[in-house]
Structure 1
Amino acid sequence: MAGIMASVDQRTQLVGQNRLELLLFRLNGRQLYGINVFKVKEVLQCPRLTLLPKLNPIVRGVAHIRGGTLPIIDLGRATGGRALEDLSTAFVIITEYNNRVQGFLVRAVERIVNLNWSDVHPPPKGTGRDHYLTAVTRVEDQMVEIVDVEKVLAEVLAGDEALPQQATTTEAMPEATGSRILVVDDSSVARRQIIRCMESLGIEVFALNDGRQALDWLKQQADQGRDVTEDLLMMISDIEMPEMDGYTLTAEVRSDPRLKDLHVMLHTSLSGVFNQAMVHKVGADDFLAKFSPDELADRVLARMRGAGVEHA
């Protein structure tokens, strides 16, 4: 397993080319699942787990790894399946999301595959609202389901409904009245977090699920004669998205004379290995690791001041 992960740092250089690499794994059955290598810190045989009182039952215990204590989440049970029974042959995928490090317990880890985001698609219609997928793709004629890890963590570790501190003591911010923001994120939990944060400040939000949708919508607005940079205070975009990632979306926006002045913030759960140089290379104005409602609110209000938005 060390061999699989040895070249992760080099592989992440694919970022910015609308490409990704998925670490493939299995839970209880034959279905293949995927997680972006960019979020994986380490893969190891399941270590000894310590049970603690009052743990969420989906957390199988904590493990002491590299001097730290990490919760180990049974990913099969977290996504509505059966708990993994035999831990002696199981693996743990150590990940970092939203400034948190945790392990996901899986039955088997397969390999890493290189894909283009254009080959990764939203979950099929009819999947329902309670699924745990952000996207699907095919690898060698096998369907691969990409797990909505942000939804899993929000349910297991809670905290997804946080509001910015200033919004808990005031109603809407006067300077926010009439402001409109485009939010682009494939995770339903992440969209809800951002929308709730912005609406608590009195900001109107228009939300889309992926970069391709966002680019098509922006171009359609421009084709209809609208000044996108006047209509929108900013665009807040995730980086990992099916069809088109946030880096490519930003580069496409910058290459269109009608859209090039739109203020773009990349908002990512890739907190541990975030590539700041790439953010500047594609022309983003700002970036922020998910999810700090206070910092997000501060950045948006600072953008308002910079854009000269007046008090109502």
Structure 2
Amino acid sequence: MAGVLDSVNQRTQLVGQNRLELLLFSLGGRQLYGINVFKVKEVLQCPPLSEIPKRNPVVRGVAHIRGGTIPIMDLRQATGYKPLEDIQNCFVIITEYNRSTQGFLVKGVERIVNMNWGDIHPPPRGAGRENYLTAVTEVEGKLVEIIDVEKILAEVSPLPAEVSADVIQDAQRDTVVCKHVLIVDDSTIARKQIQKVVESLGVKTTLRKDGREALDFLKGLIEDGKDPYHELLMIISDIEMPEMDGYTFTAEVRASDELKNLHIILHTSLSGVFNEAMVKKVGANDFLAKFHPDELATRVNKRIEQLNEEGESVE
């Protein structure tokens, strides 16, 4: 797989232009799957795996790679199919999600394709709520499915979703917050996680699946004669989303006279210095890597405090 992945820095120009690059792979059949290259650290032939006691069946073992120990998850098994066989002839995609590194075992790796987020669409409604997809697209006449990796990680190794008691106590408990938080994320599990954190602070939420839906919602408020700034406490948005990514969504909001003052946090599993630079470029107020409930709750608390100090009613 030498040469499949170039330096991430050479691809940063795609971000902020509603574009991405997908690494295409297979799980043993004809169906193609895709993962954002920005999440990928390395692709390699499956190394020897060491078993660990009481492991989740999806975790086929751990690999010792470049001085670290990385869990290797069978992506085929994680999505409800039979485990991959002959794994020594399979590949591992090393990724970084939610501040952790893990490997996904796949049957084969195809190639990298340059895409526009506008050509990546939510799964068909008939796919059901329990599917493992965040999006679908088409490459050279073939359907490509983009797997909800955050859902898989939440099932295999759940992250704490509760806000600490002391953080809740720091909230404006004497203030009835009528402004609500707009949550924008294509992952069902991520939306629920964020919603649980925000509502634990006594703040109502509105959920949308991508930047296009969120922008339409904001424009709908304006058409109804409402001021989005007075309606919303803040917007918490993912970056990777079909139709319109978080960077483009933020730029669209900032370009609108009616929306430009909205408080936006980009909350994403894409971590790193580059993304913090992009936050400044597109005009977001803050950046937060997923997923730490206390950190997210603290940002919401600070926004309430900020509005109170500015004399802006949140009631």
CA distances 1:238-274 after superposition (whole Å, capped 9, x unpaired): 0000000000000000011000000011000012465
Q: State the alpha-carbon separation in 2 of the partners of residues 163 and 74 from structure 1.
A: 31
One-letter amino acid matched to 1:2? A
Q: Which moved more, 1:163-172 or 1:50-59?
A: 163-172
- 5+ residue gaps in structure 2? none
CA-atom RMSD, angstroms? 1.8
Provide the C-alpha distance between the structure 2 equivalents of 1:181 and 1:148, rounded to a whole number of angstroms: 23
1:97 and 1:272 in contact (8 A); partners too: no
Q: 1:162·1:193 contact (CA, 8 Å) conserved in 2? A: no
| 2:137 maps to amino acid | T
CA contact (8 A) 2:178 2:314 kept: no
Residue identity matched to 2:163: L
* Letter of the 1:147 counterpart: I
Is the 8 Å Cα contact of residues 179 and 314 (structure 2) preserved in structure 1?
no
Matched, 1:228 2:233: no
Secondary structure at the counterpart of residue 95 of structure 2:
strand
| Residue in 2 that maps onto 1:118 | 118
Q: Structure 1's 168 and 185: CA in aligned 2 closer, same or farther, altered over 3 A?
A: same
Residue 61 of structure 1 is matched in structure 2 by 61
Contact 1:172 1:202 in 2 (8 A): no
- 1:216 matched residue in structure 2: 216
TM-score of the superposed pair, with normalisation by structure 2: 0.95
Q: Select between 53-62 and 158-167 the one with higher mean Cα deviation.
A: 158-167
Q: Does 1:181 align with 2:181?
A: yes
In 2, Cα distance between equivalents of 1:10 and 1:176: 48
What are the superposed Cα offsets for residues 273-297 of structure 1, whole Å, 9 maximum, x if unpaired?
6521111111000110000100000
Q: CA deviation at 1:225?
A: 1.4
CA contact (8 A) 2:171 2:301 kept: no
Task: Answer whether contact 2:95 2:102 (CA < 8 A) is retained.
Answer: yes
The residue correspondences of 1:1-312 to structure 2 (distance < 5 A) are: 1-159=1-159, 161-166=161-166, 173-175=173-175, 177-272=177-272, 274-308=274-308
Quote the Cα distance in structure 2 between the aligned partners of 1:176 and 1:189: 27
Q: Which amino acid aligns with 1:119?
A: D
2: CA distance between counterparts of 1:107 and 1:155? 22
Distance 2:50 2:289 in 1: 30
Give the total of aligned pairs.
312
Retained in 1: the 8 A contact 2:160–2:293?
no
Conserved? CA contact 2:123–2:134, under 8 Å: yes
Structure 1 Cα separation of the partners of residues 96 and 228 of structure 2? 35
> 1:176 and 1:299 mapped to 2: Cα distance?
18
- Take 2:49 and 2:128, find their aligned partners in 1: how far apart are those partners? 34
**Partners in 1 of 2:273 and 2:130 — Cα distance?**
30
5+ residue gaps, structure 1 = none
- Secondary structure of the corresponding residue to residue 174 of structure 1: coil
Q: Sort the Cα spacing of 1:77 and 1:274 in 2 relative to 1 into closer, same or farther, 3 A.
A: farther
- C-alpha deviation, 1:170, in angstroms: 9.0
Which has the larger displacement, 102-111 or 11-20? 11-20
**1:223 CA drift (Å):** 1.9
Shift of the 8–110 alpha-carbon distance from structure 1 to 2, 3 Å rule, reads: farther
C-alpha displacement of 1:174:
3.4
Shift of 1:156: 0.4
Q: Is the CA contact (8 Å cut-off) linking 1:167 and 1:200 kept in structure 2?
A: no
Contact 2:94 / 2:103 at 8 angstroms: preserved in 1?
Answer: yes
Provide closer, same or farther for how the CA distance between residues 311 and 247 of structure 1 changes in structure 2, counting only shifts above 3 A: closer
| Distance change (3 Å), C-alpha of 1:101 and 1:178 | same
Give the AA of the match of 1:232.
L
CA distance in 2, matches of 1:285, 1:64: 39
> What's the CA shift for 1:49?
0.1
Say which SS state the counterpart of residue 4 (structure 2) adopts. Answer: helix
Q: CA deviation at 1:158?
A: 1.3
SS at match of 1:5: coil
The code of the aligned residue for 2:226 comes to R
Asked if the contact 1:165/1:294 (under 8 Å) is kept, the reply is no
Of 238-247 and 162-171, the range deviating more from structure 2: 162-171
Deviation for aligned residue 1:11: 1.6
Change (3 A) 1:311 1:263: closer
| CA drift at 1:169 | 7.0
| Structure 2 residue matching 1:126: 3-state secondary structure | helix
The Cα of 1:46 is off from its aligned counterpart by 0.3
Paired residue type of 1:30: R
Range with bigger deviation, 273-282 or 221-230: 273-282
* Offset of residue 167 of structure 1: 6.1
Alpha-carbon deviation of 1:7?
Answer: 3.7
CA distance in structure 1 between the aligned counterparts of 2:288 and 2:13, rounded to whole angstroms: 20
Shift of 1:176: 5.7
Q: Tell me, yes or no, if the aligned pair for 1:239 and 1:268 is still in contact at 8 Å.
A: yes
